[in-house]
Each structure stands twice: as C-alpha cells, then as structure tokens.
Chain A
Amino acid sequence: MEGLTPAEQRELDQRLQKRQVKEFMTVFGNLVDNCFNACVDDFTSKVLSGRETGCISRCVIKSMTTQARLGERFAELNAAMTAEMQQKMSR
C-alpha cells in the first residue's frame, strides 16, 4: 500500500483514537461482567461482602496481567505469522 499524505495520516490517527476509546469501554464492560459473574453470588445482602470485594480486586489485577502477557505473545506470534505469509507470497 502506498504511503499516506499527512492529511490522510491525521484522519487515520483520529479514527484509530476513536476506536481505542470504544475498545477500552468494551474491555471495561467485559471486565465488570466477568469479575461480577465469578465473584458475586450472595444476595442475602445488598452490599458486597469483604470476600466478594477481595475477589473482584484480585480478578481485576489478574485480568490486567493476563492481558499484558497475552498482548506480548500476540505481538510475537502475529509478527511471525505475517513474516511467514510474506515469505509464501514472494515465492
């Protein structure tokens, strides 16, 4: 693909920024759903118990660590896959 003009690059950057915001909201939403489902199941009270808040906290930390780690793996694997595809195409 040919290079982009500065104006086109700006437009692209704007769109990507918008996308990132949207994606963050999705990640946030998924996190809430996931950690709530995993940690909260005691409805004898309308207040979260200590156990539940602790669980939620650990869930968040673990989820973020997991995302970071998988992010690294993904980048490595994606780079390898792309390199392999380019090799195949240039044969």
Chain B
Amino acid sequence: MFGFGRPQPTSAEKIAAIENELKVVAEMHSRMIKVCSAKCLDKTYREGELSKGEAVCLDRCAAKFFEAHQIISDQLQKEGAARGFGGGM
C-alpha cells in the first residue's frame, strides 16, 4: 500500500503536537536557567542586583548551553543510528 492519501491529523493530534513542542522548549528554558544560575550567581546573595560579571557569565552560559545541547543531540543521533536505535531529538 502506497502512502498517498495519508489520513489528516485529528484536532486533538494537532493541538497535542503543538503543545508538546512548546513543552520541550519550555523545559529546555527551565533547565538552562537552573544550570546557569548555579554556575554564575553568587550564592550568598550579598546583592540583589546582578553584577556585571554575573550578567556576562549568564549570557555566555546561555550560548554555551545551546551549543552543548546541539552537539549532544547530534552525537546521540549518530551513536543511536550506529547502534540501531532510531529517532531524532
């Protein structure tokens, strides 16, 4: 059987797909905040304001976080394919 005339996704499926995509993004956002706060902020909270150093650290941490995410994602895909697992990130 050839695949033309694929069934259209139902309403529920469409909504779930969008919601899920947003969930993935939100989780990444949340993890980045956790990780970069831990690495960059003064834990004694002597000041309420972000120091220049902390601010710059946060910016760089965010950029590195994304890069690391990409590298790991790509590598997992490659390793997964080599070992016979499918699926992307």
Contact = CB atoms under 8 A, between A and B. Distances in A.
Interface of A: 1-2, 4-5, 7-8, 11-12, 15-16, 19, 23, 26, 30, 35, 38-39, 55, 57-59, 61-63, 65-67, 69-71, 73-74, 77-78, 81
Interface in B36-89: 36-37, 41, 43-50, 55, 58-59, 62-63, 66, 70
A74 B15 contact: no
Given A8-B14, A12-B18, A73-B59, A67 B33 contact: yes
A35 B41 CA distance: 12
Nearest to A12: B15
Given A38-B44, A38-B45, A81-B66, A73 B18 contact: no
